[in-house]
Structure 1
Amino acid sequence: MPSEMSFQLFTSLRYDPQLLTSDENSWDVLNFVSPSPFYMLRYHRDRMLEAAQHFDFHEVAKRLENGKALHNDLIHHVNQWAEKGGQDEALKLRLLFDKDANLEVDISVVPPVPLETLYPPSFEPPSAASAPHPAKAFKPSPLTGGALSLGPTDTLSPQGQPSTWLVRLDKAATPSTPFTLLKTTHRDFYDTSRARALPKNPTTPAFAEVMLFNECNELTEGTMTSLYLFRGGRWITPPVGVPTGEFTSSTLKTSESGEDHCDEGELRKPFAGRWGHSVRSAKVGAGGQRGTTRRWALKKGMCMEEPVSVDTVQVGENVWVSNGVRGFGYGKVVE
């Protein structure tokens, strides 16, 4: 298993021919080539670049400067897949870079989903039939991306029926380190969390998720998704962040008097496009991954960043989750 001394940088993204028909996916802030069959490739590049800068993978950072070249490299790998008998269908591409900038691409088939699952028009509010939550007492915010009350013709999910997830809260904290913030092959803490919180024989393993939390008892992310919860009349997602210097769990707990920490999303060498401002930037976020779909949802105004205490999580409440391969899914917190 990769250690903190030996690891690769990676990201997993979706290749899908139907994305060539998506106006949203053709947006120049999401892709380097238009139209593109890659799901938010520019955001994946940005995330890998940030990790390369943080961990001093200098050759990787140089290679990632050319986004169109990355697009062409991935097209080449997909074409090679097809030449070996693969079909032109939805695929998961797992990109791995070693410190010398050698690129390895693992390809596997993934289930088809409608475009509305990849780019939902809004986050629908929790069902009125769900257990009441204190957050519902607050006035709705226009930043939710949609109406906050269900009418007789409204549905719980947007068009396309997003996948239903069963979500459990972890039983112990996951210490915050650069490896919980930046995507590398050093990820045993995710396996530990899933082994700790999920039943040994889950009925729906493909859509079972665990919510991680840090030493401050604040949610950070899921083991393979970004999290969105309904609080204060709006959808919120836990803040993230990477400081320019050292990041340890103590960064979350303390703040030196008078010291102005870099706000969330700050890079050693910033480029255009921010991850969204954290309301608690002085503590550099909660400590989760900087999800690509999360970044899109923030940019579209469908959610806001805000700390989420584990004490507010209730069994039966509805949540949204998302990642760069499966898109967005709707779920429920279970025991």
Structure 2
Amino acid sequence: MASASTTAPSFQIISSLRYDPDLPKVTSRNVNDSSYPAPADSPYYLLSYHRDRLINAARHFEWDKAIDFLQQDLVSFEKLLDGSISDVQKPWRMRIAVDCNGKGSIEVNPTVAIDPLNLLIPSLHSGIQPTIWKVFVDSQLTTPSGFTTHKTTARDDYTAARVRAGITSPAETSEVLVVNPDGEIMEGSITTPYFRRPIAGDATEPVWVTPPLTSGGNAGTSRRYALTQGFCVEQLVTKADLVDGEECWLSNGVRGFMRGVVVLSR
């Protein structure tokens, strides 16, 4: 990862989440009290996980003022976000950014309309989706650092990986997997990937697995949700393990869970 001064005003820790007015209806009808993180009636997707993620990043960079700002209660945190929503009837992509001085900002942009069921783990819905994402593998290696294990504005390596994969727009339904120097899949450039794999030493049916954080990727919010609800387990996935045409899942805090297919040759 390109070097970045963690005390520069331009360097921030970030988290992107979805505002969706239909989310509370989906969580109330399709999950029980323990299968979605509180507050389950919030239109902000995985709200508490996003706050936790930012706090963990602030702790990593030893930003005391940012920690103080982020440790406000969830009711106050949600009210802070409410002030940025211009139309409560539409879904929005929100980007929360916090600097070393504890100054927070919120960027709000329109986002694609999706079936809100896709915000739940796949085992809670049919998984029928009209769009299948193409999942490429980066041709170069990325060295893990605090800028990969935490989401920040230092995104040069991810941007470069997307360019190498020919992904030119955030609107494209394509993703590229980032690989560490040991040949292990770290994560996607904007998503967490999940692959169907047998568990080592276990003769039972294959299960969904996601790369462990020791491979260098980010502790994403939808990843935490998937692990907490038992949709997947952690297991090393190497570039050599991937099979051209194999199906996978992808997830992030704005689009929820998306079907994908690995593309190794083109």
Give yes or no for TM over 0.5.
yes
Structure 2: segments with no counterpart, 5+ residues: 199-205
- Aligned partners of 2:69, 2:261: CA distance in 1, in Å? 41
Q: 1:74 and 1:221 mapped to 2: Cα distance?
A: 28
SS in 1 for 2:261: strand
Compared with structure 1, are the counterparts of its residues 28 and 296 closer, same or farther at alpha carbon in structure 2 (3 Å cutoff)? closer
State the partner residue of 1:304.
233
1:106-142 per-position Cα deviation (integer Å, ceiling 9, x unaligned): 11111111122110441xxxxxxxxxxxxxxxxxxxx
Computing the radius of gyration from Cα coordinates, the structure with the larger value is: 1
**How far apart, in 2, do the equivalents of 1:104 and 1:317 lie?**
40
Aligned to 1:88, the other structure's residue is in SS state coil
Q: Which has the higher strand share?
A: 2
Q: Hey, what's the Cα distance between the residues in 1 that align with 2:164 and 2:80?
A: 39
- Identify the residue that residue 333 of structure 1 maps to in structure 2: 262
Equivalent residues of 2:167, 2:174 under 8 A apart:
no
Per the normalisation by structure 2, the TM-score is: 0.86
Matched, 1:212 2:178: yes
Q: Which residue of 1 is the match for residue 116 of structure 2?
A: 115
Measured on the aligned residues, the alpha-carbon RMSD in Å equals 2.3
- Alignment partners' CA distance in 1, 2:196 and 2:119: 20
**Whole-angstrom distance in 2 between the partners of 1:333 and 1:205:** 19
* CA distance in 1 between partners of 2:152 and 2:242 (Å): 29
3-state secondary structure, aligned to 1:170: strand
User: In structure 2, what is the Cα distance between the partners aligned to 1:296 and 1:320?
Assistant: 14
Matches within 5 A, 1:233-272: 233-240=206-213
Residue identity in the other structure for 1:286: S
Separation in structure 2 between the aligned mates of residue 14 and residue 98 of structure 1, nearest angstrom: 21
Q: Is residue 178 from structure 1 mapped to residue 151 from structure 2 by the alignment?
A: no
Q: Which residue of 1 aligns with 2:249?
A: 320
Q: Which amino acid aligns with 2:13?
A: L
1:12 corresponding residue in structure 2: 16
- Aligned runs of 1:139-150 on 2, under 5 Å? none
Aligned match of 2:195 = 229
In structure 2, distance between residues paired with 1:162 and 1:290: 28
C-alpha displacement of 1:218: 0.5
**Structure 1: gaps spanning 5 or more residues:** 123-144, 146-156, 241-284
The equivalent position to 1:57 in structure 2, one of 63, 70, 73, is 63
3-state SS of paired residue (1:171): strand
Cα distance 1:34–1:302, how it changes in 2: closer, same or farther (>3 A)?
closer
Q: How many residues align?
A: 249
> Relative to 1, partners in 2 of residues 1:199 and 1:328: Cα closer, same or farther, differing over 3 Å?
closer
| Contact kept? 1:162, 1:329, Cα under 8 Å | no
CA-to-aligned-CA distance 1:62-90 (integer Å, 9 cap, x gap) = 12112221111001221xx24xxxx6211
Structure 1 segments of 4 or more deviating over 6 A? none
* Distance across 1 between alignment mates of 2:122 and 2:183: 32
CA contact (8 A) 2:167 2:175 kept: no
Identical aligned pairs, as a percentage?
Answer: 34
Counterparts of 1:50 and 1:297, CA distance in 2? 19
